[in-house]
């Protein structure tokens, strides 16, 4: 196992993991849905509400000043974490979903005209499909799915073909598939899309927790993610965009904070990032997310990713003895997400039998209904790992799954 990473010490940072569920030690394998929070994040939230709670940017007192400084320092921490060229390129949102809606309704409306095309792989999360459908409908544009190969990788030959045959204005692609774990070649896809004159949004909801993200190296125009999948709080997320694009885009919502001057004759807007942050923001959430990225930097995300890869290999090896378990999708590169079916059984029955043994996984369509239709499956069962999981978790999962198969098949 990875020598520089102490999995036991790291695991002890996550108090929620230390509990029993249905009479068994909890084995949390639902990390693609949301990750658990380390003590450092819980304490940052507690400290903010106990000591620094105030509204930001407009207070004339010491506590408001502290809250504002912590809030803006959080933006700087996140900007550094994703290697943004400028702090003001980090816009706070509620999460990935809101970030994509923001880009669709501002940038999308600005650039899309009748018969323009948005390309989105079949394997996307609904959050990276529906907002584009909405803006396409409003602008008379079209959304075309990019097919997958046999192994469920994005079909790059088909992608090239679509780029050459259509007036593609936007390509929106996830860095890592939440349903199958596929690591998509987003830098390649971005380079091809840019060469064809399209703008690129990368959905980093899953990718951000499984790689060191460098938004400048990726070369896309927008990168979006949620705090809660990165050991941070729910209700906070990030839209990173290139400054010149953010400057050119109209605001998303109107209200306080996003304005420069208001009169009944007209309103002028604040500069980025504030132009996109109408109303009182999620101050505690931003501070909690900064605590999460600082925690991950201290643990060493690179070492954490290596540990998770080793665990995934151990899981695949351990499952090879269970003839009834069928992996769905066999991507060339994947993170610690294992989507599977046990033929002749329903995924929700597997989920229930595992829950009875203290194992938390997810079952269903994983907000990827077009992918499930494409694969012709009703849904899957999904075990998703994080760096705080260990070999005992995998052993417990495999044993419980074996037992469930014995009962159902
Ligand atoms: C790939 C992907 N995109 C988007 C989302 C939506 O994230 P949120 O619900 O935090 O906005 C998720 C959540 O599961 C996801 O996995």
- C-alpha 21/C-alpha 183 separation (Å) is 32
Q: Is the CB of 201 under 6 A from ligand 1?
A: no
How far is Cα 209 from Cα 292, in angstroms, rounded to an integer?
Answer: 11
Which domains, from first to last, does the chain contain? 7-30+300-408 (3.90.1150.10), 43-297 (3.40.640.10)
Confidence at residue 59, expressed as pLDDT on a 0 to 100 scale: 81
Q: Could you read off the pLDDT of 296-351 as tens digits, one per residue?
A: 999 999 999 999 999 999 999 999 999 999 999 877 899 999 999 999 999 999 99
Catalytic residue among 152, 231, 367, 405: 367
Catalytic, 231? Answer: no
133 CB burial (10 A radius; 0-12, 13-18, 19+): middle
Residues 6+ apart with CB under 8 A from 17: 11, 26, 28, 36, 388
Cβ(75) – ligand 1 distance below 6 Å? no
pTM for the whole thing? 0.97
Q: How far is the CA of 177 from the centre of ligand 1 (A)?
A: 10
pLDDT band for position 3 (50/70/90)?
A: low
Contacts of 186 (CB under 8 A, 6+ apart): 173, 175, 202, 207, 218, 220
* pLDDT surpasses 60 at 1: no
CA distances from 370 to 121, 123, 127, 130, 179 (A): 10, 7, 12, 11, 11
At residue 80, the 3 state secondary structure works out as: helix
**Cα 97 to middle of ligand 1, angstroms:** 6
pLDDT in tens, 141-170: 999 999 999 989 999 999 999 999 999 999
Asked if residues 144 and 115 have their Cβ atoms less than 8 Å apart, the reply is no
Give 23's contacts (C-beta < 8 A, 6+ positions apart): 358
- Out of 334, 336, 367, 369, mutate this one to test ligand 1's pocket (max ligand atoms within 8 Å of CB): namely 367
d(CA 255, CA 394): 49
Burial of 4 (0-12, 13-18, 19+ CB in 10 A): exposed
Distance 186 CA to ligand 1 centre (A): 17
């Amino acid at each position: 196992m990875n020598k520089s990473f102490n999995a036991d010490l790291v695991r002890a940072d996550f108090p929620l993991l230390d509990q029993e569920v249905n009479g068994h030690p909890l084995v949390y394998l639902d990390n693609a849905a949301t990750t658990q929070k380390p003590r450092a994040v819980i304490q940052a939230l507690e400290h903010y509400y106990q000591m620094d709670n105030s509204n930001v940017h407009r207070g004339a007192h010491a506590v408001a000043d502290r809250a504002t400084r912590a809030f803006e320092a959080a933006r700087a921490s996140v900007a550094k974490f994703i290697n943004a060229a400028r702090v003001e390129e980090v816009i706070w949102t509620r999460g990935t979903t809101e970030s994509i809606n923001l880009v669709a309704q501002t940038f999308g409306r600005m650039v899309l005209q009748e018969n323009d095309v948005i390309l989105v792989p079949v394997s996307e999360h609904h959050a990276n499909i529906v907002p584009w459908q909405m803006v396409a409908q409003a602008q008379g544009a079209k959304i075309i799915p990019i097919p997958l190969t046999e192994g469920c990788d994005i079909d790059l030959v088909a992608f090239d073909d679509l780029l050459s045959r259509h007036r593609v204005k936007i390509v929106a692609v996830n860095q890592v598939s939440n349903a199958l774990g596929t690591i998509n070649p987003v830098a390649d896809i971005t380079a091809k899309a840019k060469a064809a004159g399209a703008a690129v949004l990368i959905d980093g909801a899953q990718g951000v927790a499984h790689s060191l993200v460098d938004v400048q190296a990726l070369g896309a125009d927008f990168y979006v993610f949620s705090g809660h999948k990165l050991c941070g709080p729910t209700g906070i997320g990030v839209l990173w965009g290139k400054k010149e694009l953010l400057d050119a885009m109209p605001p998303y919502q109107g209200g306080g904070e996003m304005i420069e001057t208001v009169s009944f004759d007209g309103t002028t807007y604040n500069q980025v990032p504030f132009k996109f942050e109408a109303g009182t923001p999620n101050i505690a959430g931003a501070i909690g997310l900064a605590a999460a990225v600082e925690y991950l930097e201290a643990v060493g995300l690179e070492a954490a990713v290596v540990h998770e890869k080793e665990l995934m290999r151990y899981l695949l090896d351990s499952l090879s003895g269970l003839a009834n378990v069928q992996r769905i999708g066999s991507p060339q590169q994947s993170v610690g997400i294992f989507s599977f079916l046990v033929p002749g059984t329903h995924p929700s029955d597997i989920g229930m039998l595992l829950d009875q043994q203290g194992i938390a996984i997810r079952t269903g369509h994983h907000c990827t209904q077009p992918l499930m239709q494409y694969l012709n499956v009703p849904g899957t069962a999904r075990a998703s790992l994080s760096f705080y999981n260990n070999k005992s978790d995998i052993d417990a999962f495999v044993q419980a799954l074996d037992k469930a198969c014995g009962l159902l098949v």
